[in-house]
Every structure is written in C-alpha cells, then in structure tokens.
Amino acid sequence: MTAVCFYFQVHQPFRLRSDFDFFSIGTDRPFEDEEKNREILRKVSAKCYLPANTLMLELIRKHQGRFRVAYSISGVALEQFALYEPQVIESFRALAKTGCVEFLAETYYHSLAFLYSEEEFLRQVKMHREKMRDLIGVSPKVLRNTELVYNDRLGQLAEEMGFTAVLAEGADRILDWRSPNHVYRPLGTKNIALLLKNYRLSDDIAFRFSNREWSGWPLTSDKFANWLQSATRNDQGSVVNLFMDYETFGEHQWESTGIFAFLRHLPEEFLRHPGNRFMTPSEVAKSFPPVAELSMPGLVSWADSERDVSAWLGNHMQQAAAATVYGLEKAVVATRDAELMHAWRKLQTSDHFYYMSTKYSQDGDVHKYFSPYESPYDGFIHYANAINHLIWKCNVVRERQRLARRTARIAKQSDKAQEMPRQLVAGPSMSTSAEMRPLTLVAK
C-alpha cells in the first residue's frame, strides 16, 4: 500500500505601512497597512482560497471520502478572513464537516517563538487551538510549527502538549540513508509520531510545476501519480508526505499553468492503483508504526536550500530584530494589556524577518518574490520603526498603569485618613516630580 498525505499551510501576515517612518514613532498613526492587508487577502482569496476549497470539496464528494487532505491556518490569517473575506472561513467549515479534512495546530502568530521562549510558544499554540475550536469547530491533534522549524525539543514539547503527531522536513543531512517515506518517533518520546516532508516530490508541485526549463515539465497528473508509486516501490507500507503552501494553487502557480486541472485529476490517477490511499496526518500516525527513533539535535526547516533557520536569522539585521522583539516579552506580558500584547505578537510573525534576508542566487530570488520591499534593508528599517513605536507604546501603558496604581493607593490612604483624628493626618506634601519622569524608547 502507498499512502499520500497532503498538508497545506494557509498564512497571511499583517503587513507594515511603507510610509511609517522615524517621525511617526510616538504618534497616533498605525504602523500596519490595513488597506494593503485587505487588498492582498481578497486577491489571494479569489485566486486561491475560494476556488481551491471549492475544488477540494468537489474531489472529496466525487471520490466518496477517499480523497483526504490537511490544513494549518495561522491565527493571523484567520483574523484577516474574519475581517475581509468571511466566506473563506465558511468554506473551511464546509470542508471540516466532510470528516475528510484535518486541521493542524501551530503558533497563532506564525512566529519563531519556539526559538526564543518556550513559554510564549506554548501560549501561542494554546491560543491557536482555541481559535480553531471557535472558528472552524475542530480541536487539532497534530502540531506543525512555523515553517516546519523543528528539533528534538519540539517533538518532546509536542508530546507534552498532548499531540499525537508532529510534522518536520525530511532533510537529507538528517536522514542520510533513511527514507522520508516512513513514520519515525522523535528522540526522547514514547507516544508521538514524526511525519517527514518528501521535499523533492512536494517541490515538484510547489516550485517546479510551471518551470518550462525543468526536465519534468509538463507535470501531468498521471505522470506524478506514477512518481508517487515509484517513490515507495521498495518500501512496503509507506507514506509520501506532500507538504506545501496552499497558495501554490492559483497564487504561486497561476491557474493558467494548469495547476487546478492537475489537482482535479490527480486523485483519480493515484487511486487507480489498488491499495493506494489518501490519509490525514492523524490517520498516518494511527496506521503506520514508527520504524525507528529519529534525532534532530540541530534546527531544521522547510525553507531555502540549507533547510535551517538562516532564512529568518541568517544576518545581523534579522538577528537584531528578532532579539529585540522577543526581548520585550517580560515587559509586554507584565502589562496584561490585550491590545499591546496583540501588536507585539504580530511583530513576531516570521515574514517580517524573511523580508530582511540578504541571500542571493535562487534562494534570494524566492525571498525577493515574497517581499513587499525594494531591499532587505528597507524591510529592516520599516520593522525598526514599528518595533520602536511598540516600545514607546509599552512605556506609555506601563506609566499609565503605574499612575493608576498610585492613584488607587492615595485614594485608599485617604479613606483610612478620614477615619483618623484630623491632627494625625497633617504632614508634608507629596512630590510627584520624580514619578513623572520622561518616557524613553527603551523598555525597562
């Protein structure tokens, strides 16, 4: 038997305004570009999310439940769907009701929190699970970390959080002679499965599908079905995990390339082979026992040729930006100000750091394609302005809260004083000059 596990990432970041400059810091101007967010969300919904979801529902019904897929939708994408395109949420709900679609958990803000703060990472995964229950009506049982960033500790955390499986990249430097077409067990765990992406076959669809210079072009559904069969010919009872961005369909690969026609006919071609099945990640974890324990001591991701975290943290700009935003955790969380914490967490979204990449060659071209900025240095400057504005807002909130506490103390003391003899109340006046010192742009 050959099984195929289709998993799609659905994500859109909250983008920053291009005209939020240094002189906007400390003003009432928002640093997020609501108009651009709405414009892009509606465009991608029309080109990808709505037509692709319609096709998925059609294929599930046509094949009477034998076609099955999985999604992970970031919390920030769900927020934008609710704001600008609520029919997209309805279309995902319709898919959920079929019983043939699984929805995975991830960090709510599509962040790199796992690399900097386990506490913040756990908070964001919890927030995402709650959002999925509220909007889609499902409780995710499988974890997919942002950009498939993974190491042994993530597998252990996933098990501690009660997940039955976790996804990762099938990187060659980790697998060596082993195949990604098997289920493994994360190092140091007992009851959780590790599913690895077959990046060659996944990238044939996600990146190479429309490349006329590629030796595999044109990629037809029957050709790809045969490739899937060949990939597991020597491995009885194996699974091919095809993980990719959902925007592959209609946005990265335009409809004119034939990508929707390819997807429409692929299930029929694959299911021609007796015993072949489409499965969700949870079904894979239940059906295939781990063949071995697999250790990934170093960080692995699905990005760029290195498949590490250099796509987001490969240069000093990225490292400084990430260290700054995660360094604010204690100050921001202590305020318990919901609006401030939400703004801070949106600045953790991995896309902001991706735009600052200074890579060249093919990886650099991919970064440039996704970036809204003319250069990675522009990306850094816009982010620096936004984060400095956030620091200013954090200080404002903390000062306001400090004054509120002080006012409450004075009021309490006044109430007590009224119960005492007047002669005991008299005393020196209280100076507030030291308490009302100017705010700075450095969170304390």
Strands 183-186 and 193-197 come out as: antiparallel
Q: How far apart are the first and last CA of the chain?
A: 59
Please check whether residues 65 and 7 belong to one and the same domain: yes
Distance CA 103, CA 68 (A): 11
Residue 273 falls inside a structural domain? yes
The pLDDT assigned to 435 comes to 34
Q: pLDDT tens across 69-104, in order? A: 999 999 999 999 999 999 999 999 999 999 999 999
Among the listed residues 106, 120, 147, 283, the single catalytic one is 147
Answer whether 209's CB lies under 8 Å from 218's CB.
Answer: no
Above 70 in pLDDT, residue 194?
Answer: yes
Does residue 391 belong to any structural domain of this protein? yes
Peptide linkage before 51 cis (omega within 30 of 0) = no
Q: How confident is the model at residue 363 (pLDDT cuts 50, 70, 90)?
A: low
Query: Do residue 315 and residue 390 come from a single domain?
Result: yes
Residue 53 and residue 59: Cα distance in Å, rounded?
10
pLDDT single digits (tens) 308-336: 999 999 999 999 999 999 999 999 999 99
Based on the fold, state whether residues 268 and 369 are members of the same structural domain: no
Digit-coded pLDDT (tens) for 11-22: 999 999 999 999
Q: Are residues 126 and 187 in the same domain?
A: yes
Whether residue 382 lies inside any domain: the answer is yes
Structure tokens at 274: 């007796």
How many domains is the chain built from? 2
Q: Are residues 72 and 168 in the same domain?
A: yes
- Across 69-141, where does the E strand assignment appear? 69-73, 101-103
Claim to verify: residue 290 and residue 314 sit in the same structural domain: no
Q: End of a domain among 269, 294, 319?
A: 294
Contact 118, 157 (CB under 8 A): yes
**CATH number (domain holding residue 187):** 3.20.110.20
Any domain includes 443: no
Let me know if residue 420 belongs to a domain: no
Domain boundaries, position 21: 2-294
Tokens of 393: 């807002």
Residues 213, 165 share a domain: yes
Instruction: Please indicate, yes or no, whether residues 323 and 226 belong to a single structural domain of this protein.
Output: no
Q: What is the pTM of this model?
A: 0.90
Residue pair 109/75 in contact (Cβ under 8 Å)? The answer is: yes
- Asked whether residue 106 is assigned to any structural domain, the reply reads yes
Burial label, 252 (beta-carbon count in 10 A; 0-12, 13-18, 19+): buried
Q: Mean of the per-residue pLDDT values for the chain?
A: 92
Question: Domain ends where: 294, 326, 345?
Answer: 294
Cis peptide before 218 (omega within 30 of 0): yes
Domain annotation covers residue 303: no
Whether residue 329 sits in one domain with residue 264:
no
What amino acid is encoded at 26 in this protein? G
**Is 147 assigned a catalytic role?**
yes
Tell me, yes or no, whether 332 and 262 share the same domain.
no
User: What pLDDT score was predicted for residue 412?
Assistant: 80
**Would 232 be classed as within a structural domain?**
yes
Helix (H) or strand (E) run with residue 278 in it? strand 277-278
Q: Considering 402, 419, 436, which residue would you say is the last residue of a domain?
A: 402
Same domain, 390 and 278: no
Domain identity same for 365 and 251:
no
Q: Which two tokens stand for residue 338?
A: 């919901």
